[in-house]
Amino acid sequence: MRDDVFVIGVGMHPFMKECPDTSDMAFTAGRAALADAGIPFRDVGYLYNGYMSGRMLEGVTIAKDFGLTGVPIVHVENASATGSSAFREATLAVAGGSCEVAMALGWDGSLRSRAASMMRSGGSKPSIEGMLLPAGFFAMWAVRRMYEHGTTVETFAKIAAKNWNHARLNPMAERQADKEITPEQVLEAPMVAYPHTAMMACGAGGGAACAIVANREVAERVAAGRPLVRVSASQMQSEHYTEGHIFMGAVVGPAELTRTTARLAYEEAGSGPEDLSLVQVHDAFPIEELMYYELLDICADGEGDKLVEEGATAIGGRIPFSTDGGLIARGHPGGPTGLAQIWEVTQQLRGESGQRQVDGARIGMAHMMGAGSVCVIHILEREN
């Protein structure tokens, strides 16, 4: 970052299976973030709207609900990484001096209904992406992992159960079970695509989330005694060509993409995987979270299963993952997903996460994939 950038406000509308009007959700999340920052909308110098569905000018229309201030408004879309990309644009606008304060606002309705619409509107030419849903791609990735490393279905179930139980402590989560979820319950759920059951698949409802960033002068002025949360790294990469490169489909993409982006983020932040207090990842299915343990260099290749067995990635463990429930249980509307991760990391670093609080949280990572071919990683750090 050329200049320091801080998260000064975060807000969410609860993620829900059956969602109300998207404009109401976006307005709720935006107003919550402004209240959290303690600033009026007229102080916002840039607004980046992230959504995958909706009308062409929906972002501009929603912005008018906050106020007619002349603020520049940009629509950002990058598949599942839409919210993360909007946050990155807001961060870069402040870091580059274009404005003192920028807002990233993401929303979407049901991911399930959008997926069905995309299937219906597909082109006439056959393609593997048109024949296989994301569940199929991730299932193949999981079965390959089982073959190469001896990973069991019980390991996948433990990851999913962990995330369901984290979501029980998050009032914004789509899936909030009334009692603790066991791996056995996860395995007994209806099968989606072997080895993944319905309780291993991400929640696909709707929701909204927002984050506001500012330069140091503004952040210190509005801190009101709370810890400053600095964006110490913001990195984005797309696929790199390698010898023997195979285009496996936009959903899965090359695994190495996450490792490349993470190492750039560690270098920019001046910290390493051993310094992280918590991590949020694109865990649409548990195979993803398991692989990201290794691709983010939290452990060596093939050792992710051991972390699960030890409970290292649960709250209270050495390196908690998906502390808000992740995509599996907090939910994955699309546009706001990456911003929900920023909401969670910011609250954790401030010490405001209640029962799911990670003790001594100081550095957090938010990782998102966009259709498998784009990776966005942010590292946030508690400064005081």
Dist. CA 12–CA 27, nearest whole Å: 10
Strand partners, 70: none
Choose among 316, 307, 301: nearest CA to 355. 316
DSSP three-state, residue 146: helix
Give the pLDDT of residue 371.
Answer: 84
Give the pLDDT of residue 245.
Answer: 65
Dist. CA 327–CA 321, nearest whole Å: 11
Q: Under a CB-based contact definition with an 8 Å cutoff, are residues 344 and 323 in contact?
A: yes
Q: What is the pTM of this model?
A: 0.94
Give the pLDDT of residue 330.
Answer: 98
Relative to beta strand 363-370, strand 278-280 is: parallel
For residue 325, what are its two tokens? 């429930």
Domains annotated on the chain, with CATH: 5-112+204-222 (3.40.47.10)
User: What is the residue-wise DSSP string for 190-235?
Assistant: PEEETTEEGGGSPP--EEEEEEEEEEHHHHHHH-TTSPPEEEEEEE
Give the pLDDT of residue 337.
Answer: 98
Q: What is the mean pLDDT of each run of 10 residues along the chain (384 residues)?
A: 86 89 94 98 98 89 96 96 98 97 94 50 52 82 95 98 98 97 98 97 95 98 97 94 62 79 98 98 96 97 97 98 98 97 98 98 97 92 92
Give the pLDDT of residue 80.
Answer: 94
HEC string of 52-77? CCCCCCHHHHHHHHHCCCCCCEEEEC
**Tokens 């909007």, residue?**
86
